[in-house]
Amino acid sequence: MKLYETAMTPSCKRVNLFLKEIGGEVERVALNVREGDNLTDAFKTKSVNGKVPVLELDDGTALCESVAICRYLDEVFENDLALFGANPRECAQVEMWHRVVEFQGLYTAFQAFRNITAIYQDRENCVPEWGEESKLRVLAFLPTLDKRLAHSEHIATENFTIVDITGFIFISFAINGLGIDVFSTSPHIARWYERLATRQAFQG
């Protein structure tokens, strides 16, 4: 199988952290999305959403959407980490928190970044006001996450799961992409983030 990626982008970093955690190795195909490598007809036939990452299987099936890719990798690389949850309650908590962190956090942060910076104005209509509003929504979501982490060592369950990976990518992006000083207002996020950063898979 082949992973089409632009390694520096948040969605590809998310899949890469997941792969490192489960100890999986796949062949890589490097694309430059800033240069529009994902806009070609050849790539669009592989990717339903036209974005990276895409995992192409040996039978030609192409999977886009990072969470779908992680689900597949989790099944094919045997591991006992239960990153999608270990029992019905945990699986539901992972699903619940993953949707919350993606929709209110990561996806909203993407909207903020894309619309404020107009980085992809060659391929989409950018609305600066929507970007600013999205940034405010990211700021408004941080207390929810901080409150959760005041009472729980990890976001979704008592164990490390894929939601912590997504949350880590979201917080990194809020800090580095949107210039939000997350740690000064969210001490529990700061503590959780610093602990995650010491994990083996999060090095380098």
Ligand X SMILES: N[C@@H](CCC(=O)N[C@@H](CS)C(=O)NCC(=O)O)C(=O)O
Minimum CB–partner distance for residue 14 and ligand X (Å): 7
Packing angle, helices 162-176 and 187-196, rounded to 10: 110
Cα–Cα distance, 62 to 69 (Å, whole number): 10
**Residue of 19, 24, 46, 51 that binds ligand X (CB under 6 A):** 51
Q: Which stretch binds ligand X (CB under 6 A): 7-15, 91-99, 146-154, 183-191?
A: 7-15
Q: Which stretch binds ligand X (CB under 6 A): 9-17, 129-137, 157-165, 176-184?
A: 9-17
Cα–Cα distance, 106 to 165 (Å, whole number): 11
How many helices (H) does the chain have, and how many strands (E)?
A: 9, 4
Interface size with ligand X, residues (CB under 6 A) = 13
Q: Which letter, b or e, does each residue of 104-119 get, where b requires 16 or more Cβ atoms within 10 Å of its Cβ?
A: bbbebbbbbbbbbeee
| DSSP assignment letter at 177 | T
Q: Which stretch binds ligand X (CB under 6 A): 48-56, 72-80, 129-137, 175-183?
A: 48-56
Minimum CB–partner distance for residue 162 and ligand X (Å): 12
Cα–Cα distance, 158 to 152 (Å, whole number): 6
147 binds ligand X (CB under 6 A): no
Cα-based distances in Å from 97 to 4, 90, 94, 101, 158 = 27, 10, 5, 6, 13
Q: Which of residues 62-81 bind ligand X (CB under 6 A)?
A: 65-66
Phi, psi at residue 177, to the nearest 5°? Answer: -90, -35
Minimum CB–partner distance for residue 91 and ligand X (Å): 19
The contact pattern for ligand X, residues 85-104, with x = CB under 6 A and - = no contact, is --------------------
52 binds ligand X (CB under 6 A): yes
Nearer of residues 74 and 146 to ligand X, judged by Cβ: 74
**Residue of 3, 4, 11, 193 that binds ligand X (CB under 6 A):** 11
Q: Which two tokens mark 98?
A: 């993953």
Footprint of ligand X (CB under 6 A): 9-11, 33, 38, 51-53, 65-66, 110, 120, 123
